[in-house]
Amino acid sequence: MDEALRQYQADILKAKLSRRGFLAAAGFAGTAAALAACSSSSPSAAPSSAASTAASAAPSQAASAAATAAPSYGPVESEFFLFNWSGYFSPDNQKAFETEFKTTVKYDTFASNEDLLAKLQAGGKGQYDVCVPTAEFVPTLVKGGFIEKLDKSRLPNLATISPQFLGMPFDPNNEYLVPKDWGTTGIIYRGNKMTDPITSWKDFWDLATTKYSGKTFVVDSPGDVFVAPLRMHGFDVNTTSKDELEIARQELMKLRPHLQSIDSDTYDQTLRDEVAVLGLAWNGTAYVLQSDASGKYKDTGYVIPTDGTIFWTDTWVMLSQAPHPNAAYTFLNWIQDPKHQVVESLYAGYASCNDAAKPLLPADFTGNPAVYVPSSLLNLLSVATDQTGNQQRADIWAQFKAG
């Protein structure tokens, strides 16, 4: 608790802060300390088996942070290079971070985890400070030597991370990743136009191939699209069984001629325009449409299919040879401040992994089943692992894309 304060006092002594910056830092240290207290006492409501280990891990990290006297790291660099999904970092937060630390955020985007990996493999080392892979891609990034072990003593705010997201199988010792937010892959629809009852992937297939043929889309992401046909038949989402994947292939090819688009970038617009009224997508878009200022898209619905789907956690990681390490650490710590988490969650429409942020979020956000999965449905969710190396899947996907 007071280690956060001490850290901040040390920082303040080192760095020349503007008055505004000082006030922000002081206020921030206060809330962080208060919230750290809540987080370690609140038991996890998560299905994660890691909860118990994580609950004990969090305070011990905090203790180790307190033990080390804050060494001098130098000031925040004048630039900070962020490599992220598009529309996944609040412009308000960006402005706040830039003014507070007198730095400039350079924000580049990638389209998918595969895209991120490919760009790093093709020589992206030393180009960026922080990037945002989904948790299941972190082991590949570690193996490739693309990301760096985090110095937790520089990240006191991690104490407020929900234990559910600590000790994940992708980073069992919490060495590399900082959970950003989490969401699900499910069924999105425009209630005004798609009036039939829908509860499962089976329903989705039936409706998409009949009444809503030509009005249905899926995201352009194999990892998400494979979930539907596999769960429809009760198979594991990470299956490598040839027969099961063959059944998935047949289902996908059955759906293909009825699709309006295979697209991850503009589907919110096609839903707005009612060009598509039904889709396999991520939950954040549902909230973004429902809460649109115009109020025209309140009818947007989101369903966690009863035959099961995946949940995923996006994470902040620090790239090796990061050109601006001080900015990176400052940012990773700063963004975990609950009040910045709130801005971030409301912007992207995804649930924060930060326990301390949840009480600060409006009730219609935390109570929205499209954002925070109701606890009764948590048993429907499983975690996907990176399957891009599976040749059969790659082949099926190429066939699906070609139609």
Partner 1 sequence: MTAAGEVATSAGRRQAERQAGRRARLLTGALLVPASFWYLVLLVLPLVIVGVYSFGVRGPDGGYQPALTFDNYAVVATRFGPFWLSLAMAAAGTALCAVLAFPLAYFIATRATRRKTLLIILLVIPFWTSFLIRTIAWVTILGPRGVAGFLSDLTGTEVQLLGTPGAILLGIVYNYLPLMIFPLYVTLERLDRTLLEASKDLGAGRWATFRQITLPIVLPGVITGSILVFIPLMGEYVIPAILGYGKVFLIGNVLQLDFLVSRNWPAGAAKAVVLIAIMLVSISFYLWFMNRGRRTRDVSVL
Contact in structure between 144 and 120 (CB atoms under 8 Å): yes
One residue of 151, 206, 263, 299 binding partner 1 per CB under 8 A: 263
Which helix (H) or strand (E) segment is 246 a member of?
helix 242-255
Question: Nearest distance from residue 34's CB to partner 1, in Å?
Answer: 43
- With CB under 8 A as the contact rule, the residue among 23, 45, 63, 394 that binds partner 1 is 394
If you write DSSP's letter for every residue of 304-365 in order, what string do you get?
--TT-EEEEEEEEEEBTT-S-HHHHHHHHHHTTSHHHHHHHHHHHT-EESBTTTGGGS-HHH
Q: Which is nearer to partner 1, 204 or 397 (CB)?
A: 397
Q: Does 318 bind partner 1 (CB under 8 A)?
A: no
Residue span 370-389 as binding mask against partner 1, x where in contact by CB under 8 A, dash where not = ------------------xx
| Contact call for residues 98 and 105 (beta carbons, < 8 A) | yes
Nearest approach in angstroms of CB 298 to partner 1 is 20
115 contributes a contact to partner 1 by CB under 8 A? yes
Phi, psi of 268 (to 5 degrees): -65, -35
Q: Between residue 67 and residue 106, which ones bind partner 1 under the rule CB under 8 A?
A: none
Kind plus residue range of the DSSP H or E element containing 288: helix 284-290
Rounded CA-CA distance 21/94 in Å is 15
CB of 140 to partner 1, least distance (A): 5
Tally of CB atoms within 10 A around 18: 12
CA 95 from centre of chain: 21
Piece of 52-60, 117-125, 159-167, 321-329 that binds partner 1 (CB under 8 A): 117-125
- Site track for partner 1 across 217-246, x = CB under 8 A: ---x-x------------------------
Q: How far apart are CA 102 and CA 264, in angstroms?
A: 34
Asked if 273 touches partner 1 (CB under 8 A), the answer is yes
Question: In angstroms, rounded to a whole number, what is the distance separating the alpha carbons of residues 326 and 149?
Answer: 14
Of 241, 274, 359, 385, which lies in the binding site for partner 1, with binding defined by CB under 8 A?
A: 274
Nearer to partner 1, 100 or 386 (CB): 386
Size of the site for partner 1 (CB under 8 A): 33
Which of 121, 240, 241, 250 forms a contact with partner 1 (CB under 8 A)? 121
**Stretch of 33-41, 56-64, 77-85, 136-144 lying at the interface with partner 1 (CB under 8 A):** 136-144
Residue 254 in contact with residue 232, Cβ under 8 Å?
no
Alpha-carbon dihedral sign for residues 401, 182, 237, 117: positive
Binding residues (CB under 8 A) for partner 1: these are 112, 114-115, 117-119, 121, 140, 143-144, 214, 220, 222, 259-263, 266, 273-275, 388-389, 391, 394-395, 397-399, 401-403
